[in-house]
Amino acid sequence: MNKPIIGLALGSGGARGFAHLGVIKVLLENKIPIDLIAGTSMGSLVASFYGAGLDIDRLYKLALAFKRKYYLDFTVPKMGFIAGKRVKELIRVFTHGKNIEQLDIPIGIVATDLLTGEKVVFRDGPVADAVRASIAIPGIFVPEKIEGRILVDGGVIDRVPISVAKDMGADIVIAVDVSHVKINEEVSSIFDVILQSIDIMQKELVKYGEFSSDIMIRPHVGHYSARAFTNIEDIILAGEEETRKHLPAIQEAIAKWKESLLNEEKEK
């Protein structure tokens, strides 16, 4: 093998996660291969759609046509306000009812076991079930039950799944962090309360551990809330812009990997 396995680690962030599309577009335009993807929450949604064979142009069109009202099914709030059946069906349709192991490239989908606090990584099984679990924001979505587990948003335990991408075999990990750097001053609904609380929790968690990716891309989307679905185009463009800035570093990481491999072969 004379080229590295390049993995993406796509993080959580609600609507800010549309920036992942901009990242993927720029990588593809510059012929940087995407060999595998680990995704958390919105990152898992993007990963699964891309892995199911939707090209980047179609993904852009889907994103820009997104309307929350078509995909959210509100329910009597017992374990969450949104039942999640509509969005699960949406995922099933656009991923052609496939299992994760049937996707075009290896995909790892991260969720959190609500009862044990364990990280759960799906590498096989129905895509729609796994992604539905990964996006189940606590208190907003009803948790997803899979094989006896009660599962919620993967971002609760692993906001940017770098370690998952490495465990999947990536030699170089390009991580994308779309977390909310700036805390909202305006809180006008229970949804804002929940999402703001999660953003604060994740911001504090980051202080206790640096991300260990080879490349960390942080699109400038911190001023958007996780519910900023009216700003999708701007969020995507932010992903494109920040990725272009990192192209030299990505190319350098690939070159260093090849050089290291060459040196190892010489020593044999």
Q: Which of 35, 113, 153, 214 is catalytic?
A: 153
- The sign of the dihedral angle between the CA atoms of 223, 225, 226, 232 is negative
Active site residue 124: no
DSSP 1: -
Q: Which of 12, 41, 44, 213 is catalytic?
A: 41
Answer whether 151's CB lies under 8 Å from 111's CB.
Answer: yes
Residues whose CB falls within 8 Å of the CB of residue 175, separated by 6 or more in sequence, listed in order: 8, 9, 11, 160, 162, 165, 211, 213, 215, 216, 217
Q: Taking Cα atoms as reference points, which of 202, 211, 203 lies closest to residue 173?
A: 211
Active site residue 153: yes
Give the tokens for residue 186. 């305006």
The DSSP secondary structure of 229-244, one letter per residue, reads: TT-HHHHHHHHHHHHH
Q: Is 151 helix (H, G, I), strand (E, B) or coil?
A: strand
Cα distances from 134 to residues 119, 172, 207, in angstroms, run 11, 24, 23
Positions marked catalytic = 41, 153
